[in-house]
Amino acid sequence: MQEIKKISSEVVHKNPWWDYKRDQFVLPDGGINDYYYSETHGNVIVIPVLDDGRLVLVRQYRYLHEKNSIEFPGGGIHADESPVDAANREFLEETGYKTENLIKIGTFEPCIGMLKDISHIFIANELTEMQQPKSEGMEHTEVILRRVDEFENMIKQGEIWDGQVLAAWAMARDFLLKG
């Protein structure tokens, strides 16, 4: 496979969460094309497990889909923040819990054709409930506790439909069930 060479890159639009970019590149045959995509600082997904084995989930409204989604806590990494710091911040904000044991189990890239973004996946245990979840702007979360078998049934029934949640669970499932 021949390499494609980037010749320029510009930010078309910028906001606090992502940049929308246009790159120009030269194809192996000499043709010049544009490529449009969004770029972020990455995101974190936390899979929290209580001492009794139940998962801590959040329900929140997803504007683009006009319905509620049940997800693992998580969110965007700020420009000046490490994935671990972002995971701790997002987990506390969305659930009101903190963790004494955050384990990074891997990363994945959620949408390689349109988005330059890395999802960092963590398992959290040794949890302590500290406060009520913080609600701000469009983000209002409701904490839901489910056993693993209940969670997997929710996936089968289509109640869990977010792709990042499904991918994170695929990475974490064996790790959690092997103990």
pLDDT above 80: residue 100: yes
Helix (H, G, I), strand (E, B) or coil at 11: strand
Q: Which domains does the chain have, with CATH numbers?
A: 5-39 (no CATH), 43-177 (3.90.79.10)
d(CA 103, CA 125): 9
What was the pLDDT predicted at 177? 83
DSSP state of 150: H
Beta bridge partners of 5: 26
Whether the predicted model's global pTM rises above the 0.75 cut: yes
pLDDT above 90: residue 11: yes
Tell me what the mean pLDDT of segment 59-83 comes to. Answer: 93
DSSP state of 49: B
Tell me what the mean pLDDT of segment 96-115 comes to. Answer: 95
pLDDT above 90: residue 3: no
